[in-house]
Amino acid sequence: MNLTLKNQPLSAIDAELTVLFLTEETLETSEYKELLAKTGFKASQDTFTILHESGLVVCGVENYGSTALRSAAAVVVKKVKGYKYSSLKLSQYYLKNVAALVEGFVMGAYSFEMYKSETCEVSLKEIIFSSDDYNNESADFSAIEKAFNDALITATATNFTRELVNMTPQDMTPEVMAEVAETLATTNGLECDVLDEKALEFENMNAMLAVGRASINKPRLIHLAYKPDNTLKTVSLIGKGLTYDSGGLSLKPAASMVTMKMDKAGACAVLGMMKAVSELKLPIEVHGFIGAAENMVDGSAYKPDDVLTARNGKTIEVRNTDAEGRLVLADVLAYAQDTVTSDFIFDYATLTGACMVALGPYTTGMMGHSNHLKHNILKANAHSGELVGSLPFNDHLKKLIKSEIADVCNIASKPYGGAITAALFLDNFITDEMKSKWMHFDIAGPAYTESPWDVFGHGGTGAGVRMTVKFLESLSEKK
């Protein structure tokens, strides 16, 4: 399905269907008011009707804001895919909403069919954006074009991430993830370095190696780098890449193992971010570090009561082998700081169910020391379409990961504030110089869904990609 933008009024564009978004207020003044009344149409959010004789698709929106239009665009494309129309067209709904509409159509149209023996044939081939606003007022075409193209890159990168998240454990092993990164590097002009098991041993990545020890699919550390000329800032992005998590010897219940392919969503998000950044050609040097491993069970598996020595020399008492993602991140964070001097370092992980208890299943948990950095991230994220909530650190929760026999314990002594204590564990692997520049994003809730919400159907959502791209774009705008 192609999205195109034409510098033409809507009436001059040839398409089989025209899309119209109506609020309760604009419905009252619409030329189609009486006809729509006969269909029972109400202009509430995401209500949909199609007037075949008029070649008109109408979708209700609460307002002409980005959130409402993004959701409505997704509804339209999902519905129209079920018909036999090949093209549709629409006007702009203010310049600030171009990106939301593009994202709604691109992400709403996505479906994962890799493992289907028969795929669904879709007639809809083209969605055409007019340069004119819906009220027939012209806007600056160069500004529309930039917003359109940038949003198309970001939405496509988000779908790329979703595709990787949805791949099954037998098809997306640590080695395959490294191959995906190498292919992306070749295609997008990135640098790529992959550390295999022997290289991880040389780098003293003992916590990460312990997690992957019992799997026949050995761990990989992946380092992608985008290095444009005249960079304004340098940012390191770290992704948790558990291609499958059985829980290890602290074995998960059978029902909890289902969907554990999504435990690589942080790593997949970083791959999507690197794709987007390199195609947007932002003047920001970006490094993506991924810890790819599989947490399995055999006689060599690491055990509760083990003490592991991480790359930075910190010792970790293992009390639960299902708290494995933070062990992988501990070494990757340390490696990233040793390898690259960055202005910011962010990590992304499906780390804790506790984050979903705190914020619900749709919101990313953001944790770190700098309130100033949190403010800037939230400001940049305002129109990304992602929901982010901040969870506060405190010294009382920090005491819960104290170990009597090692420097730190990999789980807390009490089952409260688990998302925060997991982040406080990671804080042990952030240098003093980087603490005000580090932010942890727990995407356990929004990274994967089994029930449709917002623009998403079943599966991976690409959580983190749009949010991070918006922040990186904000850095490129600063003088």
Q: Can you list the domains of the chain with their CATH numbers?
A: 2-134 (3.40.220.10), 155-477 (3.40.630.10)
Model confidence, pTM = 0.97
Give the active site residue among 227, 233, 252, 374. Answer: 252
Whether 106 contacts 163, CB under 8 Å: no
Q: Is 414 one of the annotated active-site residues of the chain?
A: no
Active site residue 311: no
* pLDDT-flagged residues of the chain (< 50): 479
**Element of type H or E holding 335:** helix 325-339
| pLDDT for the residue 478 | 56
Instruction: Report which residue type is found at 66.
Output: S
Considering the candidates 326, 437, 466, 470, report the single residue annotated as catalytic: 326
297 is written with which tokens?
Answer: 């069970």
List strands edge to edge, sheet with 284-295.
191-195, 220-226, 284-295, 233-245, 344-349, 438-442, 363-367, 387-390
442, 467, 221: which is closest to 348 by C-alpha? 442
Q: Which secondary-structure segment (H or E) carries 179?
A: helix 174-188
- Which tens digits make up the pLDDT trace of 97-141? 999 999 999 999 999 999 999 888 899 999 999 999 888 777 789
DSSP string over 357-426? HHH-TTEEEEE-S-HHHHHHHHHHGGGSS-EEEE----HHHHGGG--SSSSEESS-SSSSSHHHHHHHHH
What pLDDT does residue 137 have? 73
Beta strands in 230-324 (DSSP E): 233-245, 284-295, 307-309, 315-317
Within 10 Å of residue 121's Cβ, how many Cβ atoms? 7
The pLDDT assigned to 296 comes to: 98
Tell me how far the alpha carbon of residue 374 is from its chain's centroid.
Answer: 18
